[in-house]
Structures are given as structure tokens and as C-alpha cells.
Structure 1
């Protein structure tokens, strides 16, 4: 999978409570430990879901199913992600666990990263889509590494920004959090549409 094919899915993975959680943790009392634990948990769960999806899709391919069938599965997963994003667009109240982030512990942050990035509806659908897409193209599982690393890098950006810019970042991060909270569903829909177009091109081509 080429990098440009992976990049849109990274934004789908982090737009919403995912990047908001990373920003909250970057401004928590133990932000260094919490941010590292959050990214560590995310790394394990994303890798796990992508690997399972790849293995299952590769098994289907070995049994004689066509790439068209697998591409159709990817398309269905993306459509479901798009529908979920649209249906939850007007949810104004943040999840209850988000109120715990400012006083979070590294253990809580690790568990949050694992569960949120691995099993949140849009994230699990996105990871399944990436793993299935790789199998459908006959690519190596190693080609998922750019997707995983880019997702983790974006999740780490709030804490990295704090390291580099210090006080200025403390002012900027809350503004970024508010903007993402208000516009994340639009970002999600646009990026999912882009990947749907790429998948349709693979089906029709």
C-alpha cells in the first residue's frame, strides 16, 4: 500500500475523541507518562486489529475468493464508518471518561489508548479496512507499518508540541481541542469519502 493510500485513514483514526484524549493527556499532571502510555496502548491494539483483519482476509484469498470480494468488504466497512460518523455528529456531551483525563494515571492512559484506538467503532472499522485492503492487493503485512506509525505520531503530537513550544503550546492545545470537538465529524466524512473513492476505483479498475 502506497503512503498516499494510507495517509487518509490516519486522519479517520484520530479525528474525534482520539485526538481530544491525546490533547487532554498532554496537559494532565503526569503528561509525559500518560502520553507515552496512551500511545503504547494504541500501538498494541491497532497492530492487533490490523494483523487479525489481514490474516482473515488472506485466508479468504487462499480459499479462492477474488480481490473484488475483499475490496467490497472494505467498501462496506467504510460505508458503515461513514454512517456511524454522521449519526453521532450532533452528540454534544463528551464521554464521561473524558472528565478523568486531567487527573489520569499511566495505567488508565494505557488502557484508554488500547480500548479507544482498537475498539472504537470508526477505529476498528478503519483498521479492518486497512488490513483487508492490504490482503486484497496481495501486499505484505509490513506495508501496514506506515499506517500504524503515522497514526501513533499524530497521537503523540500534542505532547511533542508541548515539549518543543512549552508555554505557547499550553495556550494553543485547548483551542485545537475545541476546534476538533466542533469539526471532527466533518473531517471524518471527507476522509472516508476519499478512501471510498479509492476503493471504488480499485473495484472498477
Structure 2
């Protein structure tokens, strides 16, 4: 174990990117700011999502640190097998998502649940952001992978807390951009966000499958590196 923060952040950066590119939060992050009072509700969604990501990564980090201490500071084998398992789970989810992706006209239809996002209150937006982070198997796999790396690599609570915080910020940056655009750009930002919304509707399943397969492969390749 080490106290060097930058190498650990470099190792978990792909996992943060995987969370940042998760399609459902991306869609919610674009649709909610387009509603009335959208900027405030978008930031409420962001707050819930950030809290959820920090909770998942923080819990797994603490558990990994505890296991490393119990194992005399050498938990590399257990962490390697955990990364391998998480990578395989992501690969399987990616294959299933690719096989079930909508085609043709079905890919152009907005999901039914998307209409409900436009009428979310601030507290409901916060709750949705939290739920998207802690109740989605894909999100949990990415967050658990990051927690395993951080908890098994860093010594001391200070570096671990800093790593978890930086990871959370990076993982949520894509949900932060749309409400910030509405807040500072006003009505000028809405047409661009509308185009992004339509593009995401057409490509959500494809993006999800590619993200799962790509980052699952990364976890597997780094399992015992």
C-alpha cells in the first residue's frame, strides 16, 4: 500500500469515466434542466447523484482498507479476483444490452419514463440522482471497482478520502454540465440541450453496451496487473 495519490487516481480514472458516461443519468441530466426551474432541479439531481457515488465508493473503500489490514496489508490477490469478477459482470451486461438494443423506429421513440422527468420537483430530482447511483448494477460495479483500488492502494484516511472525493467529482461532471449551461446560458442553451437529448434517445442502448464492454475489458486486463 502507498500514500501516493496520483497513481491511484490515474488507475480509477477509467471507472469514473464509465460512471460519467452511464446513459440513464446522462439522459436525466439533460432532460431535467430543460423543465421549468430546470437549473435548480438539475443541481438537485447532481447533488443526489454525487452523494450516491460517494456512498458506494466510500463504503467499498473502507471495506477494502479493513480487509487489507486484516490480511497484513497484502490484499492484492483478493482485489485481483474481485476486479476480474466485476469485469466479467460488466462484459455480460454489455452483451445483453447490445442484444436487446432497439432498432429502426423503436430507437427514435422516447422511453415512457422520460416524460415524468420533466415534472420532477427538487426533492424528487435529488432522490432520483441518488437512486441512479446506488440501485443500478452497472453503477455499483464501477463504484465498487474504484473502491477496491482506492482502499487496497492507499494508506491513511486522508489520501483515501481525497481520492474518493476526486473520483466522485469526475464521475458526476457530465450531470453537472447541463444545469450549469442552463444557469449561465439561459434560453440560448436549450436548443443545444434539445439536440443532445434527441441524440441520447437514439443511442442510449448502444452507448450503454459499448461502455460496459470497454470498461469490463479494462477491469479484466488490470485484474492481476
Q: TM-score, normalised by structure 1?
A: 0.86
Counterpart of 1:129 (choices 116, 120, 145) is 145
| Superposed CA RMSD | 2.2
Q: 1:188: how far off? A: 3.8
CA contact (8 A) 1:6 1:146 kept: no
Q: Within 2, Cα distance between the matches of 1:134 and 1:196? A: 17
CA contact (8 A) 1:12 1:122 kept: no
1:22 aligns with 2:68: no
- Residue segments in structure 1 that go unaligned for 5+ positions in a row: none
Q: 1:127: how far off? A: 0.8
CA contact (8 A) 2:53 2:168 kept: yes
Map of 1:49-68 to 2, 5 A cutoff? 49-64=56-71, 66-68=75-77
Q: 1:96: how far off? A: 4.5
**In the alignment, what sits opposite 1:190?**
214
Q: Render the CA deviation track for 1:174-198: whole Å, top value 9, x for unaligned.
A: 322333341412244324433443x
Counterpart of 1:114 (choices 87, 110, 130) is 130
**In the alignment, what sits opposite 1:44?**
51
Counterpart of 1:4 (choices 7, 10, 32) is 10
* Partner SS state of residue 166, structure 1: helix
* Partner SS state of residue 118, structure 2: helix
CA contact (8 A) 1:8 1:192 kept: no
**In the alignment, what sits opposite 2:118?**
102
Aligned residues: 201
Q: Within 1, Cα distance between the matches of 2:217 and 2:189? A: 32
1:79 aligns with 2:88: yes
1:141 aligns with 2:160: yes
* Partner SS state of residue 175, structure 2: helix
CA contact (8 A) 2:15 2:145 kept: no
Quick one: structure 1 residues 74 and 195, their matched pair in 2 at CA, closer, same or farther if it must change by over 3 Å?
A: closer
- Residue segments in structure 2 that go unaligned for 5+ positions in a row: 103-108
